[in-house]
Amino acid sequence: MISKMTVLAQSVAAPNVLEALTGGVTGIIGLIIFVLLVIGWWRMFTKAGYPGWLAIIPIVNLIVYALMSKRSLLWLILLLIPVVNIFALFYIHMGVAERFGQSILFAIGLFFLTPIFVLLLGFGDYQYRG
What pLDDT sits at residue 7?
45
What pLDDT sits at residue 126?
93
* Residue ranges in the chain modelled with pLDDT below 50: 5-9, 11-14
What pLDDT sits at residue 14?
47
What pLDDT sits at residue 9?
47
What pLDDT sits at residue 130?
79
Instruction: Tell me the three state secondary structure of residue 126.
Output: coil
| Count of alpha carbons within 13 angstroms of residue 21, beta-carbon side | 5
* DSSP string across 28-66: HHHHHHHHHHHHHHHHHHHHTTS-GGGGTSHHHHHHHHH
Separation of alpha carbons 53 and 39, rounded Å: 10
Q: Which of 69, 27, 62, 63 lies closest to 48 in space, CA to CA? A: 69
| Count of alpha carbons within 13 angstroms of residue 72, beta-carbon side | 4
- Tell me 125's DSSP state: S
What pLDDT sits at residue 105?
97
What pLDDT sits at residue 28?
84
Total Cβ atoms within 10 A of residue 75:
19
For the question of whether the overall pTM of this predicted structure is more than 0.85, the answer is no
What pLDDT sits at residue 116?
94
What pLDDT sits at residue 13?
47
